[in-house]
Structure 1
Amino acid sequence: MTAPDPALVDLLGLVAYGELLAFDRLAADARLAPDLRRRAALSEMAAAEMANYRRVADRVVALGALPEEAMGPYVGALQAFHDSTEPKDWLEAVTKAYVGDAITDDFLGEIAGALDEPDRRLVLDVLHESRYAEFAAAEIRAAIAADARVAGRLSMWARRLVGEALSQAGRVAAADRGALTALIGRREGVDVPALFQRLTAVHTERMTAVGLNN
């Protein structure tokens, strides 16, 4: 039996743990919801994250690895990010989902471009679950429309989220034993500075789209 590609297993481990954390956070955010409609919506999305986790974990097993071992190196860095950016209220929770999670998804989506099928499609499918992002964007716009002062507070919160995400990215890079670097390097003509410029441009557009200042 061919040994699994270590870089692929490491990346899938990172994605799988991210899905587990997404479930935890959505379940917690649901308790901050101001009404039952929103609480039910987030609870449904949490259940979808567990389905995504199972898809990725099953693929790791199919490759001959254990999901818990593949996820292990990333626990400290990702948990530290979420612990340091615990939202205090509903609007901080939806802004964290809209801004913070999207940056990670954009980055991993870029890396997924180096994968072969079916792994490329699997990663892109679970990362590009857009229901929560759309839901969060609508909540942010509605809050700003109701009180323009909200934009300043949420813009500051979003900048903090980005700073924390960049800080923890270094820990993830150290933990992954070069897996992400190896995968990026497989893409012909990859320009890492240009990659981060693209990510920054998309982030700026995302902020502007909901009325937040970058």
Structure 2
Amino acid sequence: MSAPTTPGPAVADLLGLVAFGELLAFERMAADARLAPDLHRRAALSQMAAAEIGNYRRLADRLTALGVPPEEAMTPYVQPLQAYHDSTEPRDWAEVVTKAYVGDAITDDFLREIADALDEPDRALVLDVLHDSRYAEFAVAEIRVAVADDPRVAGRLSMWARRLVGEALSQAGRVAAERAALTALIARGDRVDVPGLFGRLTAAHTARMAVAGLNN
């Protein structure tokens, strides 16, 4: 029986990316909860934030087990991910939930695709920290309420969603250019269909927009 393979540095790169994303998501959701129109919604978003920090802890523990300090693995992603969040600060509750719905979902779609390039237990870990469908259901319900209260909001949120996707893809391009090991992992062998990847991401985003009653 052959010995199990030891994950290479590219795996730590990916886990560092996911870990910092979870840490930032916690910070963002905890802060954005203050924009909630009532305590019920504030508590709901705060509970989501708690789940994010729990996911971060699991990823940090895995990096530590691999002999990689979590801070070291996350550092290359601080600037691009922070730049995305700094350039997409929500102005109100409707923009908060749209960012959670659109931004988190496209990130999850991307991670779900590239998780195929990982061996166990890292594949299972990445897939397990993706956002629960309840988060998307909550966000969609809130978007629909906002649009029902003022139909003009649909146009503003549609434009906001397009901006979110544009900023996300811009920063993803920056990461790909700077982290050759991560890019090589994504394209490794035939386990990830790179040519079809962005087409599927776009199609999934279009479908989500339709579900929320927004225009792509």
Aligned to 1:56: 59
| Post-superposition offset of 1:173 | 1.3
8 Å Cα contact 1:10-1:70 kept in structure 2: yes
Aligned to 1:8: 11
RMSD of Structure 2 on Structure 1 (CA): 1.5
2:122 to 93, 111, 119: 119
Give the letter aligned to residue 162 of structure 2. Answer: R
Cα gap change, 1:74 to 1:189, in 2 (>3 Å): closer
Aligned to 1:201: 203
Mean Cα deviation higher: 27-36 or 190-199: 190-199
Aligned to 2:181: 179
| Post-superposition offset of 1:136 | 0.8
After superposition, what is the alpha-carbon deviation per residue over 1:22-76, rounded to whole angstroms, capped at 9, x for unaligned? 0001101110000000111111111111110000000001111100000000000
Q: How many residues align?
A: 212
8 Å Cα contact 1:22-1:46 kept in structure 2: yes
8 Å Cα contact 1:33-1:39 kept in structure 2: yes
Q: Aligned partners of 1:47, 1:157: CA distance in 2, in Å?
A: 26
Q: Secondary structure at the match of 2:176?
A: helix
Q: Secondary structure at the match of 2:120?
A: coil
8 Å Cα contact 2:117-2:192 kept in structure 1: no
Mean Cα deviation higher: 159-168 or 128-137: 128-137
Q: Aligned partners of 1:192, 1:119: CA distance in 2, in Å?
A: 20
Q: Aligned partners of 1:105, 1:117: CA distance in 2, in Å?
A: 18
TM-score relative to the length of structure 1: 0.94
Cα gap change, 1:189 to 1:28, in 2 (>3 Å): closer
TM-score relative to the length of structure 2: 0.93
Q: Aligned partners of 2:192, 2:99: CA distance in 1, in Å?
A: 29
| Post-superposition offset of 1:190 | 4.2
Q: Aligned partners of 1:181, 1:172: CA distance in 2, in Å?
A: 9
| Post-superposition offset of 1:5 | 1.0
| Post-superposition offset of 1:145 | 2.0
**Runs of 4 or more off by more than 3 Å in structure 1?**
none
Give the letter aligned to residue 160 of structure 2. Answer: W
Q: Aligned partners of 1:105, 1:190: CA distance in 2, in Å?
A: 15
Give the letter aligned to residue 173 of structure 1. Answer: A
Mean Cα deviation higher: 181-190 or 68-77: 181-190
8 Å Cα contact 1:4-1:65 kept in structure 2: no
Q: Aligned partners of 2:108, 2:193: CA distance in 1, in Å?
A: 19
Q: Output aligned runs, 1:1-214, within 5 Å.
A: 4-175=7-178, 177-188=179-190, 190-214=192-216
Q: Aligned partners of 1:213, 1:187: CA distance in 2, in Å?
A: 36
Which runs of no fewer than 5 residues in structure 1 stay unpaired?
none
% identity of equivalent residues: 79
| Post-superposition offset of 1:178 | 1.6
